[in-house]
Amino acid sequence: MSLANAKIEQEDAIPKQEVLALGEEESYLKMIAKRFLKHRLAVAGLIVFVLITLCAIFAPVLAPHDPYEISGNFAAAPSEEHLLGTDQVSRDNLSRLIYAARVSLAVGIGAVAIYVIIGTILGAMAGYFGGWVDMVIMRLTDIFMSFPYLMVILVIVSIMGPSLSNIIIVLGILGWPGIARIVRGSVLSVKEMDYVKAGIALGYSAPKIVFQHILPNCLAPILVNATFGIASAIIMEASLSFLGMGVQPPTASWGNMLTEAQSLTVLSQQPWLWVPPGMMILLAVLSINFIGDGLRDAMDPRSLK
């Protein structure tokens, strides 16, 4: 066999290796999906979360009334015209409940996206470079984790002003220490693998090794942590809005809808004002937590067969 033919066969073998690697990746993803679908609570949570997301996306179509329209029926009980009654300003509760889903999802997804990016970058740098870089980032992490989380958020939001964008920014900037620690631990174990050492020996740059070879193998804990983080952000937004430091009226959020339930009269005689938003917070958080449990079990390497 000539050298030219050998070279052609070698070049033909490279795409075959890529196809095999792609097939292994697809089979791994199928295995993860199969294990996730066996988790009944996770599937139920996914269905509920998808329904809430669809309600938020198609709120203008699904809402029976304008959420800011004042009908004149103050704190009216549920009726055919207003299925969940009206609030104390005579606005339709069902319409406000549907539009409030947009606020909760925006806070949850937006804040988590910010702190996942920050925490992943800082955790990867600390785990890969080690030494003084690791020491500085971890001490900074300890400082952030030593402050009372809710009190710091309340102070910063009160200074910046309570608004949807400010809440997303504050929660995103303050939420990264936990995921930074998780990513650092994962990077410390992955960087000892032979393929990472081979990349270093071949002269690959640090960003290429970290982002192309190390972080893809650390996605499982990042995804699970991000899933639970969305639920935590939704609860935090509801808490801030309930305290008057979150999304401000007339913008509807599940938290500021619960604000009206602070009086004993409303709690005992007007349940339509606080039960629906409370149930929506419960359903959203439970569904996301169930999804996180399913992902954690499906992506656990000790249980993969």
DSSP 55-77: HHHTHHHH-SS-TT---S-TTPP
Query: Own/partner pairs for 62-71, CB < 8 Å, 24+ apart?
Result: 62/98, 63/92, 63/94, 63/95, 63/98, 63/99, 64/92, 64/94, 64/95, 65/91, 65/92, 65/94, 65/95, 66/92, 66/95, 67/91, 67/92, 67/95, 67/96, 67/98, 67/99, 67/250, 67/252, 68/250
**CA 238, CA 262: separation in Å to the nearest integer?**
14
* pLDDT of amino acid 110: 92
> Has residue 2 got a pLDDT over 50?
no
* pLDDT tens-digit map of 269-290: 888 888 889 899 999 999 999 9
Q: In the predicted model, what is the mean pLDDT of residues 20-30?
A: 58
**Is residue 88 included in any domain, yes or no?**
yes
> Has residue 298 got a pLDDT over 70?
yes
**Is residue 66 included in any domain, yes or no?**
no
> Has residue 7 got a pLDDT over 80?
no
Q: In the predicted model, what is the mean pLDDT of residues 229-237?
A: 89
Query: What pLDDT band is residue 19 in, cutting at 50, 70 and 90?
Result: very low
CATH of the domain at 204: 1.10.3720.10
Question: Which of 54-68, 168-182, 184-198 is the least confident region?
Answer: 184-198
**Is residue 4 included in any domain, yes or no?**
no
Buried b (16+ CB within 10 A) or exposed e, 156-187: bbeeeebebebbbbbbbebbbbbbbbbbbebb
> Has residue 70 got a pLDDT over 90?
no
- Closest-CA residue to 240 (of 104, 144, 90, 117): 104
* pLDDT of amino acid 253: 86
**Is residue 244 included in any domain, yes or no?**
yes
* pLDDT of amino acid 13: 43
Q: In the predicted model, what is the mean pLDDT of residues 290-296?
A: 88
| Total-model pTM | 0.81
Total number of domains constituting the chain: 1
* pLDDT tens-digit map of 247-261: 888 888 888 888 877
**Is residue 164 included in any domain, yes or no?**
yes
Query: What pLDDT band is residue 138 in, cutting at 50, 70 and 90?
Result: very high
Tokens for 225?
């942590």
> Has residue 15 got a pLDDT over 60?
no
The answer to whether residues 261 and 267 touch, using CB atoms and an 8 Å cutoff, is: yes
The answer to whether residues 91 and 74 touch, using CB atoms and an 8 Å cutoff, is: no
* pLDDT of amino acid 302: 62
> Has residue 14 got a pLDDT over 50?
no
What percent of the chain clears pLDDT 90, i.e. is strictly above it?
24
Q: Which domain holds residue 224?
A: 81-282
Q: In the predicted model, what is the mean pLDDT of residues 226-244?
A: 87
* pLDDT of amino acid 303: 56
**CA 141, CA 225: separation in Å to the nearest integer?**
17
**Is residue 223 included in any domain, yes or no?**
yes
> Has residue 74 got a pLDDT over 90?
no
Tokens for 44?
């139920």
Question: Which of 22-36, 112-126, 170-184 is the least confident region?
Answer: 22-36
**Is residue 22 included in any domain, yes or no?**
no
Question: Residue 23 burial (CB < 10 Å; 0-12/13-18/19+)?
Answer: exposed
Average pLDDT value for the chain: 82
Q: In the predicted model, what is the mean pLDDT of residues 187-192?
A: 83
**Is residue 191 included in any domain, yes or no?**
yes
* pLDDT of amino acid 20: 42
**CA 149, CA 171: separation in Å to the nearest integer?**
10
* pLDDT of amino acid 137: 92
The answer to whether residues 72 and 90 touch, using CB atoms and an 8 Å cutoff, is: yes
Q: In the predicted model, what is the mean pLDDT of residues 98-127?
A: 91
